Chain A
């Protein structure tokens, strides 16, 4: 009898409550920070491993345009690989005969397409050039000269935002 009474008096088990308030605070801060650093720029998300952009103090935003990427491995035009690089030399692009390269032909085709579609906006045409910072001017010059010959003399050099040391 006495035992039964003791059993009845035992407190009912209640599961411990989790203190979620502090966790909520932390998550709210993280969420706000991430929402602010969220970027809708497509290029910001697709930086490649073999492409190290230089740092610059410029504040100009890039415009969506034809994109040439000269990474340490290859040359790309709008995402399509056109040539590979070997010892600072673009395979398939002869600096003496730039018009006989796939880069020139593709750029010329794009130029013709743009010229046919928008007559008035000719001066606004430019190329977004993303280049690895370790390339020499000799290599870069081959690409920008080809673009110039194809009708794109204006460039936007893509850089990383920040104070250059």
Chain B
């Protein structure tokens, strides 16, 4: 009886797992992963610069739905909007000419710009191209923020194709 009790005690004895090798592994893995971890993810904005192309104009002519190209001129104190279309008369486009005054509050300027862009998009939903013409002293950061506004409005795409061009003169 006593022997049975002793056997049971031996089999029920706690067995300790040797955690030291696992800990060693963790100690090696963690510094390695910490060094190669990236907490800032880099993304990209696709853009282009204007190129001379004769074939592109011919392609535009065959498109049944009118497409306008938004020209957004970025200045120090204002944003000027106008539109360009080969197939529409100039009178149809003059109403889209707008100037958005830049205010201290960037959000207010963004909202006004978004409203103006949305108006164009509602009239010509097939339009997807915007020509961004920043003035020489405009900072790159501001160009990117303007591209962000022009590209999307909430989840809706506005003008995803942004062409960056320098002003003449």
Contact = CB atoms under 8 A, between A and B. Distances in A.
A31 B36 contact: no
A144 to B, nearest CB: 6
Contacts of B47: 154-157
B42 A161 contact: yes
Contacts of B48: 153-155
A156 B23 contact: no
A156 B41 contact: no
Contacts, number: 156
Interface string A33-56: 011011101011101000001111
Contact of A154 (B39, B46, B152): B46
Interface in B29-62: 29-30, 33-34, 36-51
Given A54-B145, A61-B44, A131-B140, A20 B19 contact: yes
Nearest to A26: B26
A37 to B, nearest CB: 5
Nearest to A52: B141
A100 B22 CA distance: 60
Interface string A114-141: 0000000000001010011111111011
Interface stretch (B4-12, B84-92, B129-137): B129-137
B162 to A, nearest CB: 9
Given A54-B141, A58-B43, A27 B49 contact: no
A60 B45 contact: yes
B139 interface: yes
Nearest to B162: A157
Interface string A17-37: 100100110011011001101
Contact of B33 (A38, A47, A61): A38
A145 B141 CA distance: 19
A161 B41 contact: yes
A37 B32 CA distance: 12
Contact of B44 (A27, A31, A58, A145): A58
Given A44-B40, A136-B137, A138-B136, A155 B30 contact: no
B140 A153 contact: no
Interface of B: 16, 19, 22-23, 26, 29-30, 33-34, 36-51, 106, 134-141, 143-145, 147-148, 151-152, 164, 166
